[in-house]
Amino acid sequence: MSFQTEFKTLFEQSLAQYCQTRYLTPQQLSKTQWYQFIAQVSQQAILQKSQKNRPLTDVRHVNYLSMEFLVGRLLGNNLQNLEVYDFITQQVKQYGAELVDILEQETDPALGNGGLGRLAACYLDSMASLAQPATGYGLHYQYGLFKQSFSEQGKQKEQGDAWGRDFYPQQQHHLDFTQQVGFGGEVKLISHDKYAWKPEWIVNGEAFDLAVVGYKGIQQPLRLWQGYSETSFDLSKFDEGEYLFAEEKVIDASKLTKVLYPNDNHQNGKALRLMQQYFHCACSVADIIKRHLAQGRKLEQLAEYEVIQLNDTHPAIAIPELMRVLLDDYDFSWQQAWQICSQTFAYTNHTLLPEALEQWDQNLLASLLPRHFMIIDRINNELYHQVKAHFSDEEFSDIWQQTAVLFGYRVRMANLCVVGSFAVNGVAKIHSDLVVSDLFPAYARLFKDRFYNVTNGITPRRWIRQANPQLSALLDKHIKGDWTKDLSLLQQIEKFAKNEKFQTAYAQIKQANKQRLADKIKQELGLEVDTQAIFDVQIKRFHEYKRQQLNLLNIIATYQELKANPNQDVVPRVFIFAGKAAPGYFMAKQIIHAINCVADVINNDPDMKGKLQVVFLPDYRVSLAEIIIPAADVSEQISLAGKEASGTGNMKLALNGAITLGTLDGANVEIADYVGNENVIIFGHTVESIKQELKAGYEPMRYYQQDKVLAQAIDSLANGTFSKGDTTTFEMLVKELLTKDSFCTLADFASYRQAQQKIANFYQNRTAWIEATILNTARLGAFSSDRSIKDYQTQIWKK
């Protein structure tokens, strides 16, 4: 019997039972009850199915270690991938319910900040779909990323997200996998070169598994660890004052995984964060070894059967942890242990931003993890000799400054990762080149064959099939073969790009998706937006390097221009923002505040009717992205060149037929290569040109003085136009722009405004625009995360 037939029987029998025990008929079930019922049945089906389809393969098992997994709602995706979505849609319809409404009942688990966590989720989906054996390892935060709302004045407010308190049936609490993790204490020398670590506290790590259901594929776990202990442990014993919890002397282990740190591309060096990292790694490494040994294999063969992929440096401490286990628990020699270890780990770099590169205070690390500190020290010493042997005496000091793992009482985690891994990769071509040329030039000479590129990708199951069902249906109709499994098949619609009937169908879908978003905006903000206008979208974390402030300055300038020339011909535009700022990131929060204030003035100005609107949707998250992305006409990817490692929002938007308005940064470069320069709008400085300008001494004030339009826009932020006369509200933002402008916003302003004008002209030529949007969809196949995973397989994970 096929799975689908079995599922139908299961569904019908369970429904009868579910209703009977509640004295209800299916027609009487509420949306919540439907959700609970379908979630439970699908969970049952997943468990049954997973017994059957675990393939026996010879490839290495991938252990994907990430502090974040931004999975989004799971039920709809699981039903799609189990191929029972249409069946259930029909079933519930027959009882007067709509599956899409039912799926809205699920909470969106926000166990990540942004791109890095979402990438991890896309990769798990692709690995399961490609039958690449894999386990995701992360943390089961009690509170995910905060929920965002806006105050009366438009400032960001944060609220805890206790996602697990709601009914959440997609996870299984697995006590069989519990691990114990030590902290603090001391290290004893037992015999020559043999050490034993006696931790001061022991914490339990309990496993919560989420099933990752691949498309027509296998299921494998995302294993999330949660801290637990019966007795609380006393942190005052640490007595390192500044590092430790200012107000709390005692912490119970459940606090370890209480909350996800809300920083994206920024490290703040908190002790609890390091404890989370070690807890994550210790549980995961122990689980990997347990599974390896249970298969009757020897630890000597670990690298042959297992690879541990580090998603950024956040799990870097797994390297000394594996060394510790091999040395202390299994009596390996240093050379043997290092041989195994350095063939097992692979490291993905996600950022070049100095403020995001993790470094830990040596004393903090040594007090929390004394044995690990010793091991890191030895790694550093071995490296010292290697560098000495490899470079001339003249060069040595400079090279050592760059390559040392321990330097200036700091532990440099990125360096630890490079030294301890057999492969290091960046996440887009331009970024991988910069990793070699700017971040690790000395390492690139020392370890010649260690550096790779794997351009990021996104899963087409979520980012078209689920987010854009109408476009999916159109693609199904016009493409031979299953594009959901092989996204390169999208090429086939290229031949319809000029076809009038296809253009009409494609444009109608965009229009329907814009209407769906307009309804959401009306529901959230009470604002009616013009669906004939260009939907110009910037949705991502708020960070100065992503330059939402550049977008804002152009909006202000446009507003001022329209006020000064009421009869000017304009292409109506709705600027749409969504995104959160880290609670401690003052400048990013001020930019959010400014956008809300500017939106308030513009949206309430009758002169702007039919011309200009500004929308800021609160609480950006995966489920909101799924509504905004299919509705976008323009995709704002305007980071300063060299700062955005890849971006993945850019891929989701282009795939759904938005025209990229972007700098030559991250994956924008490759997107432009694939879709062709006539189908994107590129502007601004390049990596090279901005380097030169900075070298010559960048002065933002010069741009301010030479560009009246720019000056007027900045002045209006300073003089209270958008803050009810209060000239202090945006003082810091204005000061930053005029005196430092760390991300060269002013240097790209004029070029950005020209690019925006190009967009307006382009949009007016309807057929040319639609053709370009179709070509964006047709040519984006390479950005499937299936392609990324295949790249990892052939370049890095191969035996």
Ligand X SMILES: *Cc1c(COP(=O)(O)O)cnc(C)c1O
When the beta carbons of 570 and 627 are compared against ligand X, the nearer one is 627
Nearest to 144 by CA among 155, 125, 159: 159
CB 214 within 8 A of CB 131: yes
The minimum distance between CB 667 and ligand X, in angstroms, equals: 8
Complex with ligand X: residue 148 or 648, whichever CB lies closer = 648
The nearer residue to ligand X, 376 or 622, going by C-beta atoms, is: 622
Shortest Å distance, C-beta 71 to ligand X: 11
At closest approach, how far in Å is the CB of 462 from ligand X?
Answer: 9
Instruction: Tell me whether residue 164 or residue 649 sits nearer to ligand X (CB atom).
Output: 649
Secondary structure of residue 194 in the 3-state scheme: strand
Show contacts of 340-344: CB within 8 Å, 24+ apart: 340/299, 340/300, 340/302, 340/303, 341/420, 342/419, 342/420, 342/421, 342/422, 343/303, 343/422, 344/302, 344/303, 344/306, 344/307, 344/308, 344/422
In the complex with ligand X, the residue whose CB is nearer, 291 or 520, is: 520
Min CB(120)–ligand X separation in Å: 11
Q: Are 797 and 60 in contact (CB under 8 A)?
A: yes
Q: Report the nearest approach of ligand X to the CB of residue 659 (Å).
A: 15
Q: How far is the CB of 260 from ligand X (least distance, A)?
A: 13
Q: Residue 677 CB: number of other CB atoms within 10 A?
A: 9
Contact 75, 100 (CB under 8 A): no
| Of the candidates 12, 73, 78, the residue with the CA atom closest to the CA atom of residue 42 | 78
**Beta carbons within 8 Å of 548's beta carbon, 6+ residues apart:** 538, 542, 577, 579, 591, 595
The amino acid present at 78, given as its one-letter code, is N
Give CA separation, 545 vs 65, 540, 643, 746, in Å.
26, 12, 7, 13
Smallest gap from residue 647 Cβ to ligand X (A): 4
What does the binding site for ligand X look like in residue numbers (CB under 6 A)?
Answer: 70, 114-115, 118, 540-541, 620-622, 625, 647-649, 652
* Residue of closest CB approach to ligand X: 649
Helix, strand, coil: what percent of the chain each, to 5?
Answer: 55, 15, 30
At residue 499, φ and ψ (nearest 5 deg) are -75, 120
Q: Closest approach of Cβ 144 to ligand X, in Å?
A: 12
HSE-up (13 A, CA, CB side) for residue 734:
17
Report whether 368 contacts 447 (CB < 8 A): no
**Contact 664/644 with Cβ under 8 angstroms?**
no
Nearer to ligand X, 114 or 618 (CB): 114
Buried b (16+ CB within 10 A) or exposed e, 643-666: bbbbbbbbbbbbbbbbbbbbbbbb
What residues are annotated to the active site? 350, 540-541, 546, 648, 652
User: Residue 775 in 3-state DSSP?
Assistant: helix
H helix or E strand, kind and range, residue 346:
strand 345-348
Q: Which two tokens stand for residue 153?
A: 């004045």
Token pair of 581, please? Answer: 């700022």
